[in-house]
Amino acid sequence: MSLFARVIAPSLGIFLSNVMWCSPAFAILAARKDKTLGQLNLLPFVMMVFCTFGWTLYGSMKADPYILWSNIPGMALGFWCSHSIAGILSAQIAVHEAGLGQSTSRGGLGLAENESLVGLDVVDQTADVGKGDPSGEGSASGSGSGTSRDAKATTDVGEEKKGAEGEAEAGAAPTAIDTLKSQAFFIETAMWIAPLLWGLMAQLAWVTYVDVEDKDTALHIVGNACIAQTVIYFGAPLSQALEVIRRKDSSSIYPPMVITNTAACLMWTIYGFSAVDDIAIWGPNVAGIVLQILNMILCLVYKNTHWAILGACGSSHGQSSSTSPKLEARSTSSGEEKANTNTDKDNKL
């Protein structure tokens, strides 16, 4: 057993795993600042909570510090990310509902004002008719014009009522609010299901270990669950692969997370295969490498705003360094012009 496989690879695995857990934190901080999630895919964050819980339990049962400390920080970060996402969604829902309520109240006030104006118009027209020509001709013409104005005003009110009813019907099924509410329910439910699920799994494994006195069986139960959830976690960005291909936009995939995932999977594959010979460790990580390669292909083939941000940061540094010689050249040329001007003045004198 080589030193690299036994010590160096798992040590790098701890570092890369914690970098992997931290990598989406920048996207969450940006979402908290902008108060919107944009195209951020929520599934990886949910599976992050499930995976770290499971591997913390598995590492405790194996008494493996490498597995433990590569997942305990991620468990805390997973809950922080999920809690942040739930807060952003709740704020967006409140804004949408407040805007919907204001538009409804404005529509009601507008209709009431229009109806009151129509009523006043009818009263004024009736008074004008009473003061009209005694022969009745003027009153007839006045009542006719008043009736036409009443009909027009009534038509306007009817059209506004229809418009308000249309807005109310559109507000009755707002797709934006429905989407936000379903996402909030999904993320909030995951935060309490993950501890409950792994608590039950730990109890099952403990009962199996105590009653049968077979630690391998208990590890097999928890290990299989970890394998399944880890594969789902690594494949989570691919859940939107068809949408990415259709829209030709891979912004829902976060490239720094993909890169760190790939490197971490490589280290854990070496450790699980060469050092401890545990398929529960190297098996899902081999699958993870394949899935991360597919994610990276999507990021490279289709437009990704995260790459654009990184490129903009790099180009800004390049521009700042490249502009300095230009400024020096301009200052030099301006100095030469001033010197020539002074020389001309001296010649004239």
pLDDT tens column, 276-302? 999 999 999 999 899 889 888 988 888
Query: Is the predicted pLDDT of residue 91 greater than 70, yes or no?
Result: yes
Alpha helices (H) along 236-304: 241-247, 255-270, 279-301
Within a domain: residue 312? no
Within a domain: residue 260? yes
- Average pLDDT for 198-220: 73
Cβ atoms within 10 Å of 204's Cβ, excluding its own: 14
Within a domain: residue 237? yes
Percent of the chain with pLDDT over 70: 63
- Round to whole Å and give the CA distance between 239 and 262: 18
Whole domain around residue 280: which residue ranges?
A: 3-96+174-302
What pLDDT score does 284 carry?
92
For residues 24 and 52, the answer to whether their CB atoms sit within 8 Å is no
Choose the most confident range, by mean pLDDT, from 214-218, 305-309, 321-325. 214-218
Query: Is the predicted pLDDT of residue 160 greater than 70, yes or no?
Result: no
Residues 6+ apart with CB under 8 A from 252: 39, 40, 41, 237, 240, 243, 244
Specify the higher pLDDT residue, 313 or 17. 17
For residues 286 and 261, the answer to whether their CB atoms sit within 8 Å is no
Query: Is the predicted pLDDT of residue 144 greater than 50, yes or no?
Result: no
Within a domain: residue 118? no
What pLDDT score does 307 carry?
59
What pLDDT score does 272 carry?
93
Q: C-alpha angle with apex 163: 157 to 165, nearest 5 degrees?
A: 100
Q: What dihedral angle (degrees, nearest 10) is formed by the CA atoms of 208, 211, 214, 219?
A: 20
Number of structural domains (the chain) is 1
Specify the higher pLDDT residue, 53 or 329. 53
* Average pLDDT across the chain, whole number: 73
What pLDDT score does 12 carry?
94
Within a domain: residue 10? yes
Choose the most confident range, by mean pLDDT, from 100-104, 121-125, 139-143, 227-231. 227-231
Query: Is the predicted pLDDT of residue 329 greater than 60, yes or no?
Result: no
What pLDDT score does 14 carry?
94
What pLDDT score does 282 carry?
93
What pLDDT score does 344 carry?
55
Within a domain: residue 42? yes
pLDDT band at residue 111 under the 50/70/90 scheme: very low
Q: Give the lowest-confidence range in 94-103, 152-161, 181-190, 261-270.
A: 152-161
Query: Is the predicted pLDDT of residue 117 greater than 50, yes or no?
Result: no
What pLDDT score does 137 carry?
46
Within a domain: residue 23? yes
- 303 beta partners: 249
Within a domain: residue 138? no
